[in-house]
Amino acid sequence: MARATSARGRPDRIGRRPPPCPDWCAHRLSHPYEVADPVSQVVYRTHSNGEDTTATIYQLESNMSGGVVHLDPPTLSLWIDGDMSGELTADQARDVAASLLAAADDLDRLA
């Protein structure tokens, strides 16, 4: 496979190892980029709280041809029955948690 090049014909970073992960990433020892398309590659930094994978923190790092790196802010992904149901900021996650706790209290009263 030919090595990808940037628009200016210089070799890009496709296939190179990403910068080290932050301490909270579960994959910090072995975490290669994935090729997203011919001009970019991505790596997902991930963290979950122990064995519970219902709520997982993700951070997307994109590396474009020519070495331009874009780092998204971390978000919390909520998984229900193996399907991701949304990505939340910390404030949104707290709001959802409060609503779920209130609904669970109502459910207990109705049961």
Q: What is the pLDDT of residues 22-66, one digit of tens each?
A: 888 887 776 777 777 777 778 888 887 766 667 888 888 887 776
One DSSP character per residue, 37-79 reads: ETTEEEEEEEEEETTEEEEEEEEEEEEETTS-EEEPPPEEEEE
pLDDT at 10 over 70: no
- How many structural domains compose the chain? 1
Range of the domain at 28: 1-111
Confidence of residue 100 (pLDDT cuts 50, 70, 90): very high
Reduced to 3 states, what is the DSSP secondary structure of residue 91? Answer: helix
Q: Are 27 and 17 in contact (CB under 8 A)?
A: no
